[in-house]
Structure formats: structure tokens, C-alpha cells
Chains A and B, each alone.
Chain A
Amino acid sequence: MASSISRNNSQRPSEEFSPNVEQRERVGKIFEIIFLIGLSIGLVVLAVLVFDVLKDGLGRLLTPGFLTGTPSRFADQGGIRPAIFGSILLGGLVMLIAVPIGVGAALYLEEYAPKAWWTDVIEINVSNLAGVPSIVYGLLGLGVFNYLLNFGPALLSGAFTLSLLSLPVIIVTAREAIRAVPDSLRQASYGLGTTKWQTVWNHVLPYAVPGILTGVIISVSRAIGDAASLIVVGAVSFLTFNPGLFQRFMALPIQIYTYITRPEPGFSNAAAASIIVLLLLILVLNGGAIYLRQRFSRFK
């Protein structure tokens, strides 16, 4: 090895070594552009998607009765009120059920849990649950809430199923937020002689709220957009009344799916219009969360 290098050196005068920096930098520039294009493709697709949905759906969305009516057999009639109510109810229930449980679990794991093998088991278990497909949660919901607890294919079954689906994301993000709370805050609180729970409730939680909210929003938006688990639990595609807790139910993603699968022309526009409503709902949710986050971050 060494001999070959020295031979090369002796054969070539050092002036002839050309690092070709310009050409290499040019290749580098080209690749920078390729990376940027790779990043942009998704965004371009998203823009085209939004444009396409608006183009197909806006007209139908603005027809009178679309937001306030009940579904109809005819593409250009009827509305999606039961689906909107279903989605809002489901989203609200998921927040009521999954957020306290998720934050509670996160608090336990971060603040209380001793270092032991079984806390590791809980941790690994949470991260594995985050990767279980939505439709498998549907099977769980079907088995536990529909049959075991005898709710049947009711809104409550859907809400519990979506709550279980949302829990892992809430737990993981809430833990990160709680972990980021500086220890000095806890020490100061203990220094005043508070109990553990007083410290957690009055100091740790308020400080962690902005981070927790991020996780809550991600997971609740996902729950509102989820259709696969609700199909298995037994959401219906046609309702003429607003769903109640113990009744059969619809949700916007289910409504969209049904509209897409109807072969008659015109239903695809209804699907697009429903998609606009669903995306707006998610947008409002995210906007609300950003507003709350900014309010709460004044605590810092």
C-alpha cells in the first residue's frame, strides 16, 4: 500500500493533482436541487389535492341543505348533518376519555413510576401500541365494546375504540412534555412543603400543557379522520337523525367513503364537499390548539 502511493507520487509531479473542486461542487449543487425537489413533491401533491377537492366539492358544499340536511339517495340532494354531528361527538368524547387517561398514564410513568422491570414493560407496550393498525383497534372495539360490554354498534363503542387508538400518541407526547419540565421547579415547590400531587398539579402540569396539547391535537385529529376502525365497529352509511350515544352512528370519513364508492355520477362531488368539511374541522381543531398553546405558554 505505502509503496504504491510513493510510486504514484514519484511518477506524477504534484502540480498534476487536480482535486476537481469546481466540478464536485457543481455535482453538489445539482444534488441540493434534487433533495429540494424530493421535499417539494409531497407539498405539490398536497396543493393539487386541495385544489382538486375544492374544485370538485365547493359547488356541492354551497348547495342549500348540504350542511343541514340528512343523506339522500340522490347525489344532488340531501346533506351530511348526521355525519358532522357524529364526528364532533366522537372527537369530543375522545378528548373526554383519552386525554385524562393518557395524561394520567404519562404522569405516572414520568413522576411516580419506580425503576423496575414492569415499568419497562408498560413503556415498551405503549410504543408497540402506537404501531398497531387502526383496523386492528376496530377488532378490539368490536369484541370488547360491541359484544363483551353489549353496547352494540353504537356511537359509544366508536368513541371508546378511537380513544384507545389515540392513547399511545397522547402518552408519548405528554411524557416528553412532562420530562422537559425543569427539576428546579419541582424543588422550589417541595421547598415550600407541598405534597407530591400539589407539586404535579400546580406546577408540573401547567408548565407541560403546551407540549401536551400538541399530542392531544395530533391524536384527536387522527381519530376524527379515522375510518378503518369505525367500519369494523359498525358505523353506518345512512342515518336520517343525529346520532346519540347509544344509537348507531355515522362519521364524516365514513360518509366520504360511502359517497366515493357510489357509482352514480355526482356522488364524487358530494364526497369532495364532505372532505372540505372534514379538513376544515381538523383545521379548526389545530387552530384552537395553537391558540390555547400560546395562552398557556405565558406560564413560562
Chain B
Amino acid sequence: MQNTNFSDQFNRESIGSLEKHASDDIQEKIIEALLFGCALISVFTTFGIVFIIFRVTFDFFKEVSLAQFFLDTKWTPLFAQKHFGIWPLINGTFLTTAIAMLVAIPLGLCSAIYLAEYASPKAAAILRPAVELLAGVPTVVYGYFALLFVTPVLRLFLPLEIFNALSAGLMMGIMISPTVGSISLDAIQSVPRSLREGAYAIGVTKLETIIKVVLPAALSGIAASIILGISRAVGETMTVLIAAGQEPRISLNPFQSVETMTAYMAQISGGDSPRGSANYNTLYAVGAVLFLLTLFLNVVSHWISNRYKEKYD
């Protein structure tokens, strides 16, 4: 162990000195600068997003007060009687996201556990990409399926409106399950073998080992995957736009139509509100809320998964 570390270090140092010698060239410097420019584009993208969104959001809040935005319970910016209360949109986002996660968490965890603990390497090599196909299907296709297949089937025995939070949430859950699954799988696979062997040694069955030893050890990775899944569901647009409808309301009834933040943004983009009007600027105000919410979730997810990585490295 010690030895390989030394030689590793030695290799890196020797490469370092060779690099220094090799990069004393103008052409080399230009190339390095170009590549640095490529890396900078990602930083500019972030600045761009923040600048564009918050500049217009600032204009919006000059016309509409923060109190109107955060305390009102009605969202009717396109009506004659204007209300700018964001809560109905947050309600819609919350409801569809909650349904989606009720599907995505069990499905994602089941597939992660099966692939990590039960499937033979050969079966896993086929099943894992097959499950990940789900994430590669365009979301507009899930919207189609939710509206024109899932809703009619569910309506046979549930009092669903044509546009409803349930179908949209169910399909979103299927779509997000590979996200939860693949990150949980990585977390489960990084639990050291010795922990499992220790459990087996005291006469515990495979299932008990998984539930009482492996899953708790992988908990932070699993938590990170769930939070990332929530972030995906919050930002998903086409499925909820097509299948959940465009009726902003405060209600936890999944059989009714709701409007999410993303669906509203798509609606106002396709409409004909003149640029610069308070109506139109809602696009950016809602976008700012969405951006901050998903950013928060991503940072939390990242933070949790970094913590678990340190544990086993």
C-alpha cells in the first residue's frame, strides 16, 4: 500500500516537471487559454441565468409588492382582476412532485437493491441500461402517455378530471425512478463488503443484512438521490403541462387539475402578453422562485452525497 502510494507520487511529480518543460511554447499557451475559455463558459452560463432572471424579477417587484406575491392566495395575472399570489403554483408543484416521489422512491430503491444485491452480473448488465432507458424517453412522450393512456384507464374507477395531478405525478415518478435508482445503486455498491460479511457471520439472512446493515450504511447516498429526484420533479415541465392542466388552485386533491410553476411558465411563454408588462414579467418572477428552489435542492443533495463519500474513501 505504502509503496504504491510512493510510486504514484513519484509519477505525478515526474509528469509535472515534464509538463513544465513541454509547455514553454506560445502555441501551447494559446491552446491552454482556449481550453480555459471553454471551462469559463459554464461560469458565464450561471452569471447569465442569474443576471437575466433577477434583472426582470427586480422590475416585476417594482410593480407588484413582495406581499402580493407571497401572501395572496390567488394566481390570476391574466385576468382583469389581477392577483399575483404564488402559492397556488407552489401547491401544484408540491402536489405533483409528492405523487411522483411516492412512485419514484420505492421503484428506484427496489431496482437499486435488486441490481446491487440479487442480480447476477450478467443480468445487471442488461437490466441497468434497460431501466435507465426510462430517463432517456423525452418528457413530452410521458405527457402524451399520461393524458391519453393513464388518465382514461384510471378514469374507469376513479373520479378523475381530464387534466389531473395524479396521472401527471405517476408518469413523472416512473420517469424519475432511474435517477433515484442509479445514485442509490452507487451508494449501495460502495458499502464495503466487510460489513455484509460481518452480518452474515453472525447468522443473519440476506434480506436482514440489506435492511439492517447495507441500507443504513448507504443512507446518505440514498437521501441525496431522493433530494435530486425531488429537484428533477420540481423542474419538470412537459408532463405536468400536458397532463396536469393549467388551473392554479390550492388543493391537495390529486383528482383535480392543478398548475405547476413550470406549466405556468410554458403557458405565459406561448401566450401573447406584451414584453415588459407585469403579466409577462411573472415569467421571470416564477422562474426565479423555481431556480432558487432547485438550486437549493441540488446543493443539499450534493452536500449530503459528499459527506457519505468521505466515509468510505
Contact = CB atoms under 8 A, between A and B. Distances in A.
Please determine whether chains A and B interact with each other in the same assembly: yes
Interface of A: 19, 21, 24-25, 27-28, 31-32, 34-39, 41-43, 45-46, 48-49, 52-53, 56, 100-105, 107-109, 112-113, 121-122, 124-129, 131-140, 142-144, 164, 167-168, 171, 183, 186-187, 190, 194-197, 199, 218, 221-222, 224-228, 231-232, 234, 253, 256-257, 260-261, 268, 271-272, 275, 278-279, 282
Nearest to B104: A42
A35 B237 contact: no
Interface in B254-313: 262, 265-266, 269-270, 283-284, 287, 290-291, 294-295, 297-299, 301-302
Chain B: interface secondary structure? helix
Given A35-B113, A105-B42, A122-B40, 14 more contacts: A38-B109, A38-B110, A39-B127, A45-B134, A107-B35, A131-B235, A133-B262, A140-B49, A187-B14, A221-B136, A232-B266, A232-B283, A253-B138, A260-B140
A2 B18 CA distance: 65
B23 A108 contact: no
B27 A197 contact: yes
Interface string B10-46: 0110110011001101011001101111111111011
B11 A257 contact: no
Contacts of B113: 35
Nearest first, the 7 closest Cβ-Cβ pairs linking A and B are: A38-B110, A133-B235, A225-B138, A104-B38, A143-B52, A228-B237, A131-B298
8 contacts: A35-B118, A42-B107, A43-B131, A103-B38, A109-B39, A128-B295, A228-B266, A260-B143
B203 A19 contact: yes
Contacts of B31: 197
Contacts of A234: 269
A19 B204 CA distance: 10
Contact of B238 (A48, A122, A199, A257): A257
Contacts of A112: 32, 35-36
A194 B23 CA distance: 10
A224 B56 CA distance: 29
Nearest to B24: A195
B36 A121 contact: no
Contacts of A144: 48, 52
B129 to A, nearest CB: 10
Contacts of B18: 187, 190
Choose among A28, A35, A129 the residue with the greatest number of B CB atoms under 10 Å from its CB. Answer: A35
Interface residues of B, number: 92
Contacts of B25: 195
Contacts of A195: 22-23, 25, 27-28
B125 interface: no
Given A36-B114, A231-B270, A271-B144, A105 B39 contact: yes
B46 A125 contact: yes
A255 to B, nearest CB: 9
Contacts of A103: 38
A131 B228 contact: yes
B178 interface: yes
B42 A129 contact: yes
A187 B144 contact: no
A126 B42 contact: yes
Interface string B46-59: 10110011001000
Given A25-B205, A257-B140, A39 B38 contact: no
Nearest to A233: B269
A46 B31 CA distance: 46
Interface stretch (B71-79, B83-91, B145-153, B189-197): B145-153
B143 to A, nearest CB: 7
A256 to B, nearest CB: 5
B130 interface: yes
Nearest to B148: A268
A131 B294 contact: yes
Contacts of A279: 137-138, 141
A175 to B, nearest CB: 11
Contacts of A257: 140, 143, 238, 241-242
Contacts of B212: none
B144 A129 contact: no
B78 to A, nearest CB: 17
Contacts of A140: 45, 48-49, 52-53
A105 B35 CA distance: 6
A113 B43 CA distance: 15
A39 B35 contact: no
Given A36-B118, A101-B38, A225-B138, A260 B147 contact: yes
Interface string B114-128: 110010000000010
A140 B131 CA distance: 32
Contacts of B15: 183, 186-187, 190
A272 B57 CA distance: 38
Contact of B206 (A28, A113, A199, A261): A28
Contacts of B198: none
B11 to A, nearest CB: 6
Contact of A135 (B118, B130, B262): B262
A52 B19 CA distance: 58
B31 to A, nearest CB: 5
Contacts of A49: 137, 141-142, 145, 149
Nearest to A253: B140
Given A136-B287, A227-B140, A228-B237, A167 B207 contact: no
